[in-house]
Amino acid sequence: MNVHEYQANQLFRDYGIPAMEGIVAATASEAASAAKTLGGSVWVVKAQVHAGGRGKAGGVKLVKSPEQAGKIAQTLLKNRLVTHQSGPDGVPVEKLFVVRGTDIQKEFYLALAMDAQNAGLMFIASSDGGTEIEKTAQQNPNAIARQPIDLNIGVKSYMCRAMADKLGIPQELHKSFEHIMQAMYRLFTEKNCSMVEINPLAITSDGLVALDSKLNFEDNALFRHPDIAAMRDIGQEDAREVEASKFDLNYVGLDGDIGCMVNGAGLAMATMDMIQHHGGSPANFLDVGGSASEENIAGAFRILLSDDQVKAILVNIFGGIMKCDVIASGIVAAAKKTDVRVPLIVRLEGTNAAEGRDILAQSGLDIISADTFEQGVKAAVSAVKA
């Protein structure tokens, strides 16, 4: 789960990480008022969206008067911001974060993320702050500093000093940098984050300050943190993905025209690969899991049919824990409630496959039954191209 910058900024401050003082605005007048309240002569108006690359997309503006802050707010609010991460449709701008400008002497990148290879965490840092870390890693890998963190040990002073030396942080700021790294670790572990990022972490006249804050949280741990769960902004998410989460389905929308409903992430990936191999294009990744009920399957079916891009639906099930007759009943129930106007191809194999095929055959629905994985994929691709 993602949160907005202003929410991450407050959590940073709660954990003692020096972060920008700012005010959230939802209208042009509120943005102008925020600038006056903050004081100073220069402010930054930031669009609050769940997408990176805001600056290049025009979502971060420097202003020199409260009136200008209001005018910028009018151009941003209630519009959609298109960034390199948002997709062509962009994401809606419903709120702004107004912060006072500061003198920046030097910028750094600092993040704490999962380190699956070592079953721990990893600090990633660079002296090239304010830029896209992916490009830095690709074009100048030597500019990236890494510090593995063993969860049994935590973040020690010597680790922070070593990282500060690699980045070239002045000696007088080493203690402050250590405090920031240790606070990031506490925030990460106590709130079940999946990433804590500061970009940039800047040296200013006030010392080290997080000028931009980003937090991601592990969805499966949100039951422990109702305060974090309450920060979710579903307006920033794909409506289909929001609907899928209500049925405990794993759904990711893509740009193809063959809707896929599969049980198991591995089979789902293989199904998308097979579709591409035979000249088709998957419209989504949808894993119904190994214990979905008839209601969950019906929900998945409705989500697929809600996508106008979908020209055919391929259901590919290998029944193990998930029984094929349950899947078949869900398909029939959903199809009878929905006006299905696209070809429906179903391949069932495994537990109760024969019973499942009987349910489909006796449903009276126009369903194309496939005996094998490849046969099902070919039928779906042919149906789209017909």
CATH numbers and ranges of domains, the chain: 21-100 (3.30.1490.20), 106-229 (3.30.470.20), 238-385 (3.40.50.261)
Count of Cβ atoms closer than 10 Å to residue 160 Cβ: 21
Catalytic residue among 30, 178, 197, 243: 197
Can the peptide bond before residue 148 be classed as cis, meaning omega within 30 degrees of 0? no
DSSP state for residue 83 in the 8-state scheme: -
The pLDDT value recorded for residue 146 is: 94
DSSP 111: E
The three-class DSSP label of residue 317 is strand
Say if CB 312 and CB 342 are below 8 A apart: yes
pLDDT at position 112 is 98
Q: Which two tokens stand for residue 273?
A: 């690969």
Residues 6+ apart with CB under 8 A from 337: 298, 302
Q: What is the pLDDT of residue 271?
A: 96
- Give residues with Cβ within 8 angstroms of 157, minimum separation 6: 178
Task: Report the chain (386 residues): mean pLDDT per 10 consecutive residues.
Answer: 96 97 96 96 95 89 96 95 85 95 94 94 89 74 90 96 95 97 98 96 95 94 96 86 81 92 91 96 88 75 87 91 83 78 91 91 89 94 91
Q: Is 109 a catalytic residue?
A: yes
Dihedral sign computed on CA atoms, order 306, 308, 314, 318:
negative
Q: At what angle do helices 174-190 and 157-167 cross, to 10 degrees?
A: 120
Phi/psi of residue 85, each to 5°? -105, -10
Tell me the whole-structure pTM to 2 decimals.
0.79
Considering 6, 15, 109, 251, which one is annotated as catalytic?
Answer: 109
Residues 6+ apart with CB under 8 A from 162: 147
Known active-site residue 197: yes
CB of 209 within 8 A of CB of 108? Answer: no
Residue 55 phi, psi (nearest 5): -60, -50
Q: Which residues contact 283 (CB under 8 A, 6 or more apart)?
A: 253, 254, 255, 256, 257, 258, 259, 260, 304, 307, 309, 310
Judge contact between 286 and 249, C-beta under 8 A. yes
Q: Which residues of 9-20 are buried (b: 16+ CB within 10 A; e: fewer)?
A: bbbbeebebbbb
pLDDT value, residue 158 = 96
Residues 6 or more apart in contact with residue 85 via CB below 8 angstroms: 51, 52, 53
| Residue whose entry in the numeric block shows the structure tokens 């049980």 | 263
Q: What is the pLDDT of residue 27?
A: 97
